[in-house]
Structure 1
Amino acid sequence: MATTSLHASPEHPAGPRRRDAAGTRQLLLDAARRRFAAHGYTGTTVRDIADEAGVNVALISRYFTSKEGLFEACLVGAVDELSHAVAPDVTLDGVPSAIAEHLAGTGVGSRPDQFLLLLRSSGDEQADRIRRNTVHSFAERLATAAGWRPGHPDGDRIMLRAQVALATGFGIVLLRSSTGLEPLSSAGPQDLLPPMRDLIDALLREPGPR
């Protein structure tokens, strides 16, 4: 009579549950976002990510090919979040609220640490191209909400102001995540909205010289 082995095997791992592929991939993405945002690309190893996710390090190669591929996947998530933060058809009136919600982490699908990924160079040409293009696209959306169009006679001035507004947003995320500076670090969207509205109005409501 055949007996059933109670020992684990690669095909039948032990433990209360098995993670499905999608769940494991998400665990790796979440851990990688936190690690890359906090420690940068070069300061993060695949072992760090796997250990934090609680999975075998070999699964990074299975799901993302390489560390560069995992970083690129994290950037794609940041792209999606920024796309929700300022949609292509957003009006200037709606920009401060959208930004305040995402900076505070209360927007739909919002992960503020993903904004920090866009400040991190990977050394991988393709990943860095995605990063630069995403930041440029986001600044262009802000400028468009203020009336910028290709060939606009005052286009450079409007774009510069949009980029300054974007830099302020990234600075807020950086300070909130790394310094514990109060009251900024614990500010909610309702707290961030008035200064963000003042900033957007000052920079983008009247793009011409004062």
Structure 2
Amino acid sequence: MSEGSPTARRRDAAATRQALLDAARELFDAHGFRGTTVRAIGERAGVDQALIARYFGGKAELYQAVLDQDRLSVEPTPSASATAAAAAAEPPAERRSPRHVIDAMLRRVDEHGVGPVLRALSDPDTDAATRDELGGRLRAYVTAPLETWLREAGVVDPGLRAEVVVAALLGVMITRATGGLPRVAAADREALAAVLEELLG
């Protein structure tokens, strides 16, 4: 197959697009949207920065593409080693126990870092529409299950308590990934989950 064939060109285009996505994910995660330049993305990907406009339309559209790939990072999922049967047996989001939600979120940050989605949720430069969409997913998969459990347990103001716990959980995830709080970063995940669970009262 010649390098100039349509199939080869499609393969090269796909590889270039993925290289830009990978580079952008790393840089957006490290520096946020405003702190990342298209020049830095192109250099990290090893391609001409002009290709960002060609494949995505611009920096903002590339950012959205990165978020689209990582949107599941606010959804608790089985570990990478979980079997298909175990994954299928996962309870519906609204019936997951508080410990299940906390364990899943801590496991995700330990395995994948903060990621662009969680970074976007805490970045003041994130546009309102994106923050609302991501916040909705966070509520559906994390806050709502905690609120349901708290309400059934008879806790006063379960919505507020759930959001406070989620805020603490997100803070723990970010500082655990960045090492900002050394004891949190070094803590055993089970022990850390137990502390967070205690906040539920």
> Could you say whether these structures have the same fold, taking a TM-score greater than 0.5 normalized by the shorter chain as the test?
yes
C-alpha distance in structure 1 between counterparts of 2:176 and 2:159, whole Å: 26
Q: Determine if the alignment matches structure 1 residue 101 to structure 2 residue 107.
A: yes
Instruction: Note the alpha carbon deviations across 1:112-138, whole angstroms, 9 max, x for none.
Output: 233223222446x4xx41223212331
What is the correspondence of 1:50-199 to structure 2 with a 5 Å cutoff? 50-85=42-77, 88-89=93-94, 91-92=96-97, 93-105=99-111, 110-114=112-116, 115-122=118-125, 125=127, 128-146=128-146, 148=148, 157-179=157-179, 181-187=181-187, 191-199=188-196
Q: In angstroms, what is the RMSD of aligned CA positions?
A: 3.3
Identity %: 31
- Residue 95 of structure 1 deviates from its aligned partner by 1.4
C-alpha distance in structure 2 between counterparts of 1:51 and 1:99, whole Å: 32
The count of residues paired between Structure 1 and Structure 2 equals: 177
Maintained 8 Å contact 1:46/1:67: yes
Normalising by structure 1, report the TM-score.
0.68
- Residue number among 21, 28, 38 corresponding to 1:29 in the alignment: 21
- Residue 49 of structure 1 deviates from its aligned partner by 0.9
Maintained 8 Å contact 1:32/1:74: yes
Gaps of 5+ in 2: 79-91
C-alpha distance in structure 1 between counterparts of 2:181 and 2:199, whole Å: 24
Normalising by structure 2, report the TM-score.
0.70
Structure 1 residues 69 and 29, CA, compared in 2 at 3 Å: closer, same or farther? Answer: same
Structure 1 consecutive aligned stretches of length 4 or more whose deviation exceeds 6 Å: none
- Residue 52 of structure 1 deviates from its aligned partner by 1.0
- Residue 80 of structure 1 deviates from its aligned partner by 1.9
Maintained 8 Å contact 1:78/1:117: no
Gaps of 5+ in 1: 1-10, 13-17
- Residue 38 of structure 1 deviates from its aligned partner by 1.9
Higher fraction of helix: 2
Structure 1 residues 74 and 90, CA, compared in 2 at 3 Å: closer, same or farther? Answer: farther
Instruction: Note the alpha carbon deviations across 1:89-127, whole angstroms, 9 max, x for none.
Output: 55114212211211212xxxx44233223222446x4xx
Maintained 8 Å contact 2:23/2:44: yes
C-alpha distance in structure 1 between counterparts of 2:186 and 2:195, whole Å: 20
C-alpha distance in structure 1 between counterparts of 2:26 and 2:55, whole Å: 18
- Residue 178 of structure 1 deviates from its aligned partner by 3.9
C-alpha distance in structure 2 between counterparts of 1:77 and 1:161, whole Å: 31
C-alpha distance in structure 2 between counterparts of 1:88 and 1:173, whole Å: 20
Instruction: Note the alpha carbon deviations across 1:56-90, whole angstroms, 9 max, x for none.
Output: 11111122111110111122233222234497355
Which stretch has the larger CA shift, 47-56 or 73-82? 73-82
Structure 1 residues 74 and 121, CA, compared in 2 at 3 Å: closer, same or farther? Answer: farther
